[in-house]
A and B are shown apart, each in its own frame.
Chain A
Amino acid sequence: MIPAEFDYKAPATLDEAVALLASDLDGAKVLAGGHSLIPAMKLRLAQPQLLVDIARIKSLAYIREEGDQILIGATTTHYQLESSDLLKRICPLLPDCAKSIGDVQVRNKGTIGGSIAHSDPAGDWPAAVLALDADLVLVGPNGERTAKVENFFVDMLTTDLQPGEILREIRIKKPNGRFGHAYQKVPHPASGFAVVGVAVNLVLNDDDSCKSAGIGVTGVGVKAYRANAVETALAGTGLDDNAIAAAIAHVCDGIDPNSDLYASGEYRCHLAQVHARRAIQAAKARVQ
């Protein structure tokens, strides 16, 4: 439970952080809250030579509207997202997801950017940002680029982040029209991580039919994913029980489900279907 020796730097700016990472591409790791990296270091599953702590860069934690987008700084804490009146009004999926994470101490320290960049297969944020079709702003030694979140999660604990890159900002298109959000989660009784988590972002037409659905799923496979087949099956339907039942049957399409002491793959897939249905129904009920 004692980590291997490492250096620690707390840069004042993002540019400094990028330079520090570039100084040791193999040995440096970004620290952005530390609720996954520090436990991994204590178990010596991770042994970085240098920790670059970006959670202390004050200008990296924010939630604001800009044009038709919501911009969220990478080191915004779970608690800041959970308690944001702006988000509760214009994008309630984010506070809903935030409040399901860990406990109060975890939410006060852990960050959305840290969770997304870590790509834990049972993390909550990946499901939410997938359902919202977010863009991620990544900054590295060669400047800045924007990545679609759908292509960002590559494998277990592996993302499209290139060596030296830092996730700087999450950009979400402001939900408009008649939308409804919901996040349904089965927390593991010990760890609190998602055995299954389903995030739903529904948009309805004026006649109550489904204009579009964004469905993000976590906990089921090696990485969080968008349930494209469910989204397609819901679009255009009246979201009646039969339409939802037909759609959720596809929630694990193409996924090799995780199996562990708490839930077999078969049970996990079943839970994903049940909670996808409940989340879709909850989101529909919340449409204004």
Chain B
Amino acid sequence: MSATYFFEPKNFTFPFGTHIAVVEVDRETGDIEFLRYIAVDDCGRVINPMLVDGQVHGGIVQSIGQAMYEEVVYDETGQLVTGTLMDYALPRASHIPEFELDRTETPSPVNPLGVKGVGEAGTIGATPAIVNAIVDALAPFGVKHLDMPIKPENVWQIINRG
């Protein structure tokens, strides 16, 4: 005897949330420091809060890497010059702020558990929040856009060269 059952949700789920980064830029060095990092996400009904928080933490850290550190660089001969973790910067514990997390729970109507995805919430929300915070800090210098990763020397150049 055998039985096969497929579950196909009626529709996609739409997790949502808001990420807010507060940063301070050192005018002399271009260093960027987080003053606060706040994330409120809604992934529907939360079954294991610790796992959900962990997903958000990991996503934010990955975003900090994209926004401020991680860069693959090749030289003019095509040689990868960021081939080891001595050169390719990943965010470390000392590079990340204390996260202030909260959530709303709006159950999804399209599955029996009312759940929605959360794995990408951090990576989707945090990168633009961080970059926009830095752009906002540099608005007095006419900055409207910055290429990632935003490194201290780039910020210093903007402040000093206008």
Chain A positions near chain B (C-beta within 8 angstroms): 39, 186, 188-191, 261-264, 267, 270-271, 274
6 contacts between A and B (CB under 8 A): A39-B86, A186-B29, A189-B89, A189-B95, A190-B87, A261-B71
Are the C-beta atoms of B85 and A262 separated by less than 8 Å? no
Interface size on B, residues (CB 8 A): 20
Complex contacts, B88 vs chain A, CB 8 Å? 190
A274's nearest neighbour on chain B, judged by CB, is: B28
Q: Complex formed: what's the CA distance from A186 to B151 in Å?
A: 13
Q: A190-B86, A267-B156, A270-B156 are in contact. Are A262 and B29 (CB under 8 A)?
A: no
Q: Is the CB of B29 within 8 A of A261?
A: no
Q: Find out whether the CB atom of A261 lies under 8 angstroms from the CB atom of B156.
A: no
When each residue 71-103 of chain B gets 1 if its CB lies under 8 Å from chain A and 0 otherwise, what string results?
Answer: 101000000011001111111100100000000
Contact of B151 among A191, A262, A270 (CB under 8 A): A262
B89 and A263: CB pair below 8 A? no
B69 at the interface (CB under 8 A from A): yes
Instruction: Report the minimum CB–CB distance from A171 to chain B (whole Å).
Output: 32
Given contacts A189-B95, A263-B153, A267-B156, 9 further A-B contacts (CB under 8 A): A39-B86, A186-B29, A188-B89, A190-B85, A190-B90, A191-B86, A261-B73, A261-B87, A267-B157
Which residues of chain A are near B91, meaning CB under 8 Å? 189
Give the 7 A-B residue pairs with the shortest CB-CB distance, closest first: A190-B89, A189-B89, A191-B86, A267-B153, A274-B28, A189-B69, A190-B87
Chain A residues whose C-beta falls within 8 Å of the C-beta of B29 in the assembled complex: 186, 271, 274
Instruction: Tell me, in angstroms, the Cα distance from A242 to B24 when the chains sit together.
Output: 26
Please give the distance in Å from B72's CB to the nearest CB on chain A. Answer: 11
* Structural contact, B87 and A191, CB atoms closer than 8 A: yes
The distance from the CB of B25 to the nearest CB of chain A, in whole angstroms, is 14
Q: How far is the CB of B87 from chain A (nearest CB, A)?
A: 6
Residues of B within 8 A of A271 (CB): 29
Give, as a whole number of angstroms, the nearest-CB distance from B120 to chain A: 24
In the complex, what residue of chain A is closest to B30 when comparing beta carbons? A267
Instruction: Report the minimal beta-carbon distance from B32 to chain A, rounded to whole angstroms.
Output: 11
Which chain B residues in 43-90 approach chain A with CB under 8 Å? 69, 71, 73, 81-82, 85-90
> Which residues of the other chain, B, contact A190 by a CB distance below 8 angstroms?
69, 85-90
- Residues of A near B82 (CB, < 8 A) are 261
Cα separation A190 to B86 with both chains bound (whole Å) = 5
Distance in Å from the Cβ of B51 to the closest Cβ of chain A?
28
